[in-house]
């Protein structure tokens, strides 16, 4: 741990990639595993454009359930540690696969939300977006301007990443001295390849995760445990 702490402390440019494990420690339901099931449905079968086209009401019932669950969650010490280190580094970017907004709630501002934001809704008709944190009385909700169906402002399986967030992440991977990969299973592309990109150009890669992942083998340091416990030590 001492060597990894030194790499983080001495680097000028730091990138952090976070996944569902970081939010799970705050009580946010994950997609994978028994806790991810909803009405005996695999959520990954609902998070697709095809599922929304077939049954937008059912997809929205699931997202409304998720939004209710997330609404009661608060940032954990891992979120707070990342917000604190951002203030110390001249060149920093937090790239997250999480859509729950907990990083922002903890104070993170230099942030690339590559899978979108569950609190944003977008009209499939006119394209207008807005932030909406309250429940919808009628599902599926419709746009007040054009009457089109509203959809969650998240990236579904099979959809491209938001260009601005994706490009910011790629630019950072080309210059960061250290990349920390925390709480991600490293199986969802393209984020699953970010560690290899940074490693190829000479960055130190540090993994924080309870379990071994596909990127473990290329990491310069690996720490097994909860990010809420390990990140404050690593970044402190």
List, by residue number, the catalytic residues: 115
Helix, strand, or coil here: 9?
Answer: helix
Distance CA 14, CA 173 (A): 9
Helix, strand, or coil here: 191?
Answer: helix
Q: CB burial class (10 A; 0-12, 13-18, 19+) of residue 25? A: buried
If we measure between CA atoms, which residue out of 225, 229, 220 comes closest to residue 8?
A: 220
Structural contact between residues 121 and 132, judged by C-beta atoms closer than 8 angstroms: yes
Distance CA 69, CA 135 (A): 12
Structural contact between residues 228 and 78, judged by C-beta atoms closer than 8 angstroms: yes
List the structure tokens of 189: 């592309």
Starting from the edge strand earliest in sequence, which strands make up the sheet with 204-208, in order? Answer: 111-113, 91-96, 13-18, 178-182, 204-208, 221-223
The sign of the CA dihedral 209, 215, 10, 5 is: positive
């Amino acid at each position: 741990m001492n060597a990894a702490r030194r790499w983080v402390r001495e680097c000028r440019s730091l990138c952090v990639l976070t996944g569902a494990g970081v939010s799970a420690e705050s009580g946010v339901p994950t997609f994978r595993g028994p806790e991810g099931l909803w009405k005996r449905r695999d959520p990954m079968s609902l998070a697709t454009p095809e599922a929304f086209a077939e049954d937008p009401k059912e997809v929205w019932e699931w997202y409304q359930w998720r939004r209710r669950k997330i609404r009661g969650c608060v940032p954990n010490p891992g979120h707070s540690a990342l917000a604190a280190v951002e203030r110390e580094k001249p060149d920093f970017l937090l790239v997250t696969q999480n859509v729950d907004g907990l990083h922002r709630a903890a104070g993170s501002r230099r942030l690339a939300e590559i899978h979108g934001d569950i609190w944003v809704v977008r009209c499939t008709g006119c394209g207008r977006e807005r932030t909406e944190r309250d429940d919808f009385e009628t599902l599926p909700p419709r746009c007040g301007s054009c009457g089109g169906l509203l959809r969650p402002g998240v990236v579904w399986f099979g959809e491209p990443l938001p260009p601005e967030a994706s490009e910011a992440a790629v630019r950072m991977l080309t210059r960061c001295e250290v990349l920390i990969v925390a709480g991600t299973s490293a199986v969802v592309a393209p984020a699953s390849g970010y560690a290899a990109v940074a490693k190829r150009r000479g960055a130190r890669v540090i993994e924080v995760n309870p379990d071994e992942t596909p990127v473990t083998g290329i990491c310069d340091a690996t720490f097994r445990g909860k990010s809420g416990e390990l990140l404050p030590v690593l970044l402190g």
